Amino acid sequence: GKHRIVIPCLGHFKEEYEKVSKLYMNNKIRTTRYTLLNFLPRNLFEQFHRVANLYFLFLVVLNWVPLVEAFQKEITMLPLIAVLTIIAVKDGLEDYSRYKMDKQINNLITKVYSR
């Protein structure tokens, strides 16, 4: 199996610690779903997996066909845009609170056993 090498980060072991520690992942907790770069595309992808949002999108697309047009094109887009915006704001706020909690947990002071 695999073996783990533990090197104390003290004095003359510092160079060896920095060299070996690059090989392993850190132990920071990250429970957030989004980053600033992937928030919009990932959130829209998740929202369009809901049947209700697909139904509203179908109505919007159907209303752009001239033979079936029932309302003004902009009016049929309003419910979909409103729902998507409200859910995106809710998801963003929840993810931000997860980020703050992760930051708080990752910055906790811990005790390390040392001889």
Could you report the per-residue pLDDT of 80-113, keeping only the tens digit for each? 999 999 999 999 999 999 999 999 988 887 776 6
Q: First CA to last CA across the chain, in angstroms?
A: 29
Asked whether residue 40 is domain-assigned, the answer is yes
Asked whether residue 26 is domain-assigned, the answer is no
Domains contained in the chain, number: 1
The SS3 of residue 40 is helix
The SS3 of residue 30 is coil
**Domain region containing 77:** 31-107
Asked whether residue 85 is domain-assigned, the answer is yes
- Return the number of other C-beta atoms located less than 10 Å from residue 56's C-beta: 20
* pLDDT grade for 36, boundaries at 50, 70 and 90: very high
Contacts 24+ apart (CB under 8 A), 36-43: 39/92, 39/95, 40/88, 43/87, 43/88, 43/91, 43/92
Between 115 and 72, name the one with better pLDDT.
Answer: 72
Asked whether residue 60 is domain-assigned, the answer is yes
Asked whether residue 61 is domain-assigned, the answer is yes
